[in-house]
Amino acid sequence: MIDLHDLRERPEEYQRVCGQKGIKLDVAAFLQLDAEYRKTRSEVEAMRAEQNAVSKEIPKLSGPEKESKLAQMKALAERLKEGGAALKDLEERWGKQQLLLPGIPLPQVPVGKDDSENVFLRAWGEVPKPAFELRDHVRLGKELDLFDIERGVKVAGARSYFLKGDGMRLQHAMMSLAMDLLHKAGYTLMDPPHIVTWNAMMGTGYFPGGEEMAYHLDERDDGFHLIGTSEVPVASFHTDEIIPVEELPKRYAGYSPCYRREAGAYGKDTAGLYRVHQFYKVEQVVLCRADPEESMSLHKELLGNAERLMQLLELPYRVVDVCTGDMGQGQVYKNDIEAWMPSRKAYGETHSCSSFYDFQARRLNTRYKDASGKNTFCYTLNNTLVASPRILIPLLENHQNRDGTVTIPAALRPYMGGQEVIAPKRS
């Protein structure tokens, strides 16, 4: 949801951004609806005020004058009934279309049609060039008995898997490392609800428009849904609240399983663990004052936390500025971190760092009192710190050895009982 005053002042800018983000909305038509809605609402409010005033007069009247006022009230009630019905219809259409309006990207966001036009910023680590034939993560998983995709598919269908043994321990170690890193940085750790309402999905910008990617637990439009990221419940934590300004920024870290249908991804990344229906994630979520400089500072902090983890995992990666065509509806600035994945002979996205300004807070009605005492919508940001099993792909492939073993990064060893290498199990 955006500031409608801003929309009315620069509709051409919003129409341009709709085109850049692939949002099908006629801004001019919405503004006509907006004008009609406001006009009808004003008329209905005036009739209600007149009705209240006349109803107070009637008990004081008698005779013909009272009869005249009663007739006036009857005609007014009929007009009010018609006006109220028209207003209800207009308000419903106005509300639904308003949810489709995009956040305006910051000036430094590159314009582009899709992820192929994201802009490289920097890289860390050296891409390994071993003098032996590399195994992909699927082969490593089988030979080291880390996961079982075939049985996962048998039990739960396509894009499913079992993590097992050292594969499960490795995932748990990464999640523990990530949570310890954020705990030491002053973030409040959260184990949030995994099932949320439609309002939480709408409030964070996933609905409307992302319904086909979510698992729905019943048929009702206002029913419950499995989360695709803990961003949804954690960002919704302060819904309809006014946060004391001295408590901002709020730094949270949500740890949860995540569920995505991956609708529309048929035939894409079907092999291995890159695109699956169920995964675990530690997600950073921040709420701050409506201050662009503070927001950008926190954006860099979130991104820095993720880069720190990648460096602890000793994984080569690059950071890109995400272009307009690869951004979500509400995002105003976004960076991706992409890890080097040898089996793909390319970098693959492992993290997304997003700034929303007040887009989510307006939907969630999350505010604070500014210096003048005015209730002001917060700014929100989020960034993945680690998501598994996707992160297992670069971890296994980049740290493999000639003999088929995998070296465990030093930062993970304390979480794995000091184990340094994952090797095939002996009979």
Query: Known catalytic residues?
Result: 260, 275, 349, 352, 390
Listed in order, strand segments (DSSP E) in 24-164 are 119-124, 147-148, 162-163
Q: Which amino acid is at 148?
A: D
Backbone angles phi, psi at 387, to 5 degrees: -135, 130
Please report how many Cα atoms fall inside a 13 Å half-sphere around the Cα of residue 270, on the Cβ side: 10
Do the beta carbons of residue 378 and residue 368 sit within 8 Å? Answer: yes
Structure-token match 């919405």, residue found: 30
Residue 98 neighbours by CB under 8 Å, 6+ apart: 1, 2, 4, 30
Select from 182, 172, 175 the least CA-distant residue to 416: 172
Backbone angles phi, psi at 302, to 5 degrees: -60, -45
Alpha-carbon gap, residue 350 to 388, rounded angstroms = 9
Select from 115, 123, 120 the least CA-distant residue to 318: 123
> How far does Cα 170 stand from its chain's mean position?
26
Alpha-carbon gap, residue 234 to 115, rounded angstroms = 27
